[in-house]
Chains A and B, each alone.
Chain A
Amino acid sequence: MTAHANQSPLGKPADDDEIADLATARNHLQVRQTAIYVYEWPVRLWHWINAAAIVVLAATGYLIASPLPSLPGEASQHFLMGYIRFAHFTAGFVMAIGMVGRIYWAFVGNVHARQMFILPFWSGKFWREVLVEAQWYAFLRDYPKKYIGHNPLAQLAMVTIYSGGSLFMIVTGFALYSEGAGQGTWFDTLFGWVIPLAGNSQNLHTIHHIGMWVIICFVIIHVYAAVREDIMSRQSMISTMVSGWRMFKDDGK
C-alpha cells in the first residue's frame, strides 16, 4: 500500500462515501481500468442546460441594458424588447429551477455532486493543494496532481464564483423581476427586500449587471481551463461532462 492509499482524491479527510469511491478507483487502477464514473446523468444534463441558459441570459441581459438599434414603423408592428425580455426571464427561471434541482441532487447524488457547494475552508491540506494547482497553472510544476472530481483550485472557483455568483444572480434577478410582477406577488414577498438592501432599484440593476460580467469571466476561464486540462493534464475533462466517465491517461505507464 503506497502513500496515496489513505489520501482522499478530493483533498480532504475521507468519509465513508469517498472511501467507497476510492476503493472503486483503486480496484479500477489495479486492473488497469483507467476510467471512473464521476458525473451522474442529472449533473451532466443540468450542466449543459445551465450552460445554454447562461448564454441566453448573458446575451439577452446585455441587450436589455444596451438595446439594439431602434426599429422603424409603428410600435404595434414590433415586440422586440418584449421577446428579448421574455427570453431572459424564461432562461432565468430555467437557471433558478435548475439550481434548485442541482442542490437537491447534491444531497442524493454521489460525492462529486456535492463538491460544487462545499468549501473545506478549515482544511490546511485543501489550501496547500490549491497552491499546488495554482503552481501548475503558473508553469511552476511539470505535472498536476490527479483528481477524480474537481481539483482544489477548480473547486474553490466553483463554490465561490460559480455557486455563489449564480445564487447572487438568481436572488437579484428575482428581485428585479418582482418590480414588474408587482407588489404582493410571491416574487415581491420572497425577493423584494433585496431592493432596499441595494439602496435603490438602479443600484440593484447595476450590481446584477456586474454579476453578469463576473459569470462571463468565469465562463471564459472555465472553458479555457477545461480545454487546456483536457489536452495537458492527466485526465479527461470535456468528454467526462458528456459521458460521465473520467479517463486517466497515463495509468498504463
Chain B
Amino acid sequence: MARVETFYDVIRRQGISRRSFLKFCSLTAASLGLAPAFGPRIAHAMETKPRIPVLWLHGLECTCCSESFIRSAHPLVKDVVLSMISLDYDDTIMAAAGHQAEAILDEIRHEYKGRYIAAVEGNPPLNEDGMYCIVGGRPFVEQLREVCSDAMAVISWGSCASWGCVQAAHPNPTRATPVHEVITDKPIIKVPGCPPIAEVMTGVVSYILTFDKIPELDRQGRPKMFYSQRIHDKCYRRPHFDAGQFVEQWDDEQAQKGHCLYKMGCKGPTTYNACSTTRWNGGVSFPIQSGHGCIGCSEDGFWDNGSFYDRLTNVKQFGIEANADQIGGTVAGVIGTGIAAHAAVSAVKRARMKSGETQAPPHPNAPSHD
C-alpha cells in the first residue's frame, strides 16, 4: 500500500468542499456534547489520521439499522461517514459480490490486524450449529467469530446485536444470541434501538475516530452520551405528565392537545435513548411527537414485555397472562375474602367457648398437650 489515505483525502476526493467539511466537524462536536473547541480537533483528526476500516457484518436482522444509517440527515454525514470510515465490507450496500466480497474480509483482517472495527448488525442464531443464518455459504456465527477475533472493537448496531430483539423473543426457536454473548474478549459498544437513531450511529463512529478510543459506556455497555437518560427525562410532553394531564384514549381532546401518553402505554419512562432530544429524520419528529407512545425498542427484551399499550410487564407463569395489578388485586381479594370467612368462624367459635366456659386454659407458657 502506498501512503495511507486520511479521511480528509477521501472527503475531498468525493468533491466535498472544505467549508462543508468544517461544518460537519463542528456539528459533530455539538452532537457529541463537546465544547466548540473540539470542532477543530475533530477536523485535525480527520485530516491526519488514517481511515479506520470498518467491516459491517449482517446477521439475523431486517437491515433497518442500515436503512437508518444511510438516512442520516445530518449535513453530509451520509457522504462523509460512508467515505471516512472506509466501509470496506457491507454486503448489503457494497458493489462487490460473491467471492470478491468475501475476500475483502480476509484482506482487511490481515492488513489491519487489531486496527479495524467490526460493526455488527443483527445477531447469530446458535441452534443447529448456526444454520439458520448462512452468509457466503457458511454459518454467520463463524464469520462473526473470525472477523471479531482481530478487531480493535466491536460495535453492536441495533437491538438485534445488542439484546437479541424480535428473533430472540420468546420462544426464540433459532436461539438468536446477542453479540456480546458470543464475542467475549473484545470491547463491545452497544448502540441499541430498532433501528438506532442515525445521528447516534454516526456520532459513535465519529467519537471513536476522533479520540481513538471507545466512548464511555454505561453498565449495560451503551455509550453514555446517548443512552444515559430516558426518553421521559427529556420529553417535551413531560410538563403534562407532571401536571397530571394524560391522553385517556386515542383521538380524545387531550390527544389533540398533545398531552402525556403515559396512560396509553408510552414506554418513555423506562426507555434509555436519545429520541426526545436528537429526534428522527433530521430532527423532524419522534414517535411521541407524532402522537404515539414510545414502544421501548432500545430496551433489552422489549418484545417480551407485553403489549405496546400497557405499562406493566405481562407476567407469564403457569399459562396465565396477567399484569401485576391483576395478580395483586386478585391475591388481595382472595386474602380479604379468606379473612372475612376466618373472622366469621372465629366469632362463632368464640361465642361457643364463652357459652361453654367450662374448659380452663392450659397453664401459662406450658406447651399445649391436647
- Contact surface of A with B, Cβ cutoff 8 Å: 2-4, 7, 9, 29, 65-72, 75-82, 84, 132, 137, 139, 141-146, 179-180, 182-183, 192-193, 195-196, 199-203, 205-207, 209-210, 212-214, 216-217, 220-221, 224, 228, 231-232, 234, 248, 250-251, 253
Contact = CB atoms under 8 A, between A and B. Distances in A.
A201 B243 contact: no
19 contacts: A70-B245, A70-B246, A75-B243, A142-B359, A143-B370, A145-B368, A192-B219, A193-B219, A196-B300, A200-B300, A201-B299, A206-B312, A209-B312, A210-B324, A217-B332, A217-B335, A220-B336, A234-B364, A251-B364
A143 B301 contact: no
Given A200-B305, A213-B327, A217-B331, A81 B242 contact: yes
A223 to B, nearest CB: 9
Nearest to B221: A196
A33 to B, nearest CB: 12
Contacts of B137: none
A145 B324 contact: no
Interface string B258-290: 010011000101111000000000000000000
B332 A213 contact: yes
Interface residues of B, number: 66
B230 to A, nearest CB: 6
B142 to A, nearest CB: 29
Given A70-B245, A78-B245, A143-B362, A65 B345 contact: no
Contacts of A84: 244
B248 A70 contact: yes
B350 A232 contact: yes
The interface centre, meaning the residue of B242, B262, B366 with most chain A CB atoms within 10 A of its CB, is: B242
B176 to A, nearest CB: 17
A182 B229 contact: yes
A183 B272 CA distance: 12
Contacts of B329: 213
Nearest to A22: B365
A199 B220 CA distance: 10
A70 B361 contact: no
A72 B244 CA distance: 9
A76 B238 CA distance: 12
B53 interface: no
A207 B336 CA distance: 22
B324 A206 contact: yes
A154 B244 CA distance: 41
B364 A200 contact: no
A2 B363 contact: yes
B365 A201 contact: no
A179 B234 CA distance: 12
Given A65-B311, A250-B361, 9 more contacts: A4-B363, A77-B243, A79-B243, A201-B272, A202-B270, A202-B305, A206-B323, A210-B324, A214-B328
Contact of B239 (A75, A143, A205, A213): A75
Contact of B300 (A180, A199, A253): A199
B335 A220 contact: yes
Interface of B: 218-220, 224, 228-230, 233, 239-248, 254, 259, 262-263, 267, 269-272, 296, 299-302, 305, 311-313, 315, 323-325, 327-329, 331-332, 335-336, 339, 342-343, 345-346, 349-350, 353, 359-368, 370
A195 to B, nearest CB: 8
B296 A143 contact: no
A9 B364 CA distance: 11
Nearest to B328: A213
B39 to A, nearest CB: 26
Nearest to A249: B361
A201 B361 CA distance: 55
B219 A202 contact: no
A216 B328 CA distance: 9
Contacts of B262: 67
A-B residue pairs, 8 tightest by C-beta? A213-B328, A80-B244, A201-B270, A78-B243, A206-B313, A202-B270, A209-B324, A4-B365
Contacts of A212: 328
A203 B323 CA distance: 11
A29 B329 CA distance: 45
B293 to A, nearest CB: 13
Contact of B367 (A7, A69, A217, A220): A7
Nearest to A207: B324
Given A67-B246, A68-B244, A81-B243, A203 B313 contact: yes
B327 A210 contact: yes
A132 to B, nearest CB: 6
Nearest to B300: A200
Nearest to A137: B342
Given A7-B367, A212-B328, A221 B300 contact: no
Contacts of B301: 199-200, 203
B365 A221 contact: no
